[in-house]
Chains A and B, each alone.
Chain A
């Protein structure tokens, strides 16, 4: 137990400051990813001339590993665009890019799932397109995208461990620094892993409460959620399969 106290508890200030940086990066990246993802999705769906550019960007962000993107943004963008000028900025920009590609596709799925008749009805009562988007499309999309949004946030938290590679002083960086000082990795790395697992677990637990239930669906669409009901009973039913 002495080791745990010396290597983990006594280092709590460093670990906590790392945790703060991790949270900052994740939150900023997530907010940016939502905005950029929504923009990419709208450009892809409604701006004809830029459609293929948007598809290319979305596919590029989705199909490159986060480590590659992180190093690319950190070392290539400053020469190319003169920005980002700090490692911290580069870290959240890379995380945001990766997630914006995924979120763009999520939003597109949500928008396409809305029955066409609703939009036509809104136009026929004389609502301008922006108002239709704000009042009719966006509320439904945000409901149906909520689980994927939370899921994407857990992906951001997991990927944020990699920003320690470009010397951003997040939780992972601090714990590796402690390893390099004491040369005793067992306790501190186990503790760090446990902290990350706990964070991601708590965030995904939020997902269960954010899954749109029947009430919010009825409030939103005015339809009984019979299909949703069937799904719920399906998962709570005890499985009759017993192999092990």
Chain B
């Protein structure tokens, strides 16, 4: 027990591989940023579909949300990486392959777009109807009302909720290591195979993620509170 504790506290192995590990963490952030951008735009689209006047569009939006909100991240990543290229290849009659980066971003972006769509929809529906009627009576077009009146309020209203979703998205980026995207977790597994020392490396990886996510969530929450107070007050 004390021997294993000593092993865990041994940070030298972390220091030795610091460049590789930091590069892995950067990959985590890169996948996170791309997937978040994709999820936000798809989520806004799905939310607009869900409140559409036409039944077919509304159903499409609902289907999108229900499929992706209920799908486990891991199976979506695996599906996009192994099945989607085959399907596209059959359609185009050529051999088609997806870079692991691309499949990771597509899968995570689609999965989280389901959550973001619901957040967007709740935010849009919370905007008082009188404001939209007022906009219409001034002769603003629907698109202008959306951009100038609705969305600015939606963004502020959905900030606290979306911060939680960004955090879970960042946590989900660790599973991209399973389709060989060289993120921090992948690098850690590779080093473990070489060094045969899982104790300090897995513990260290857990602590690194813990620190990053804890700091990020507190900082983001504080920043968003200040911003919201400044604007709503």
Contacts and interface: CB of A to CB of B under 8 A. Distances in A.
Contact of A65 (B150, B174, B214): B174
Interface string B53-86: 1100100000000110011111110110011001
Question: Is chain A's binding surface mostly helix, strand, loop or mixed?
Answer: helix
A189 B172 CA distance: 20
Nearest to A159: B72
Most buried by A among B53, B75, B174, B217: B75
Interface stretch (B35-43, B205-213, B223-231): B205-213
B206 A64 contact: yes
A59 B207 CA distance: 12
A200 B206 contact: no
Nearest to B70: A200
B143 interface: yes
A133 interface: no
Nearest to B213: A63
- Interface range for A: 35 or more
B178 interface: yes
A243 B142 contact: yes
A198 B174 CA distance: 25
Interface stretch (A12-20, A72-80, A208-216): A72-80
A158 B125 CA distance: 29
Interface string B137-164: 0000011001000100000000000000
Interface string B156-196: 00000000000100011111011000000100000000000
Interface of A: 59-60, 63-69, 71-72, 75-76, 79-81, 154, 157-162, 165, 172, 176, 179, 185-186, 189-190, 192-193, 196-197, 200-201, 204, 234-235, 239-244
21 contacts: A63-B167, A63-B213, A63-B217, A64-B206, A64-B210, A66-B171, A69-B206, A76-B199, A80-B4, A158-B73, A162-B74, A189-B78, A193-B76, A196-B70, A200-B72, A235-B125, A239-B51, A239-B124, A241-B129, A242-B53, A243-B48
Interface of B: 1, 4-5, 7-8, 48-49, 51-54, 57, 66-67, 70-76, 78-79, 82-83, 86-87, 124-125, 127, 129, 132-133, 142-143, 146, 150, 167, 171-175, 177-178, 185, 198-199, 202-203, 205-206, 209-210, 213-214, 217
6 closest Cβ pairs, A-B complex: A244-B52, A158-B72, A65-B171, A200-B70, A65-B174, A75-B198
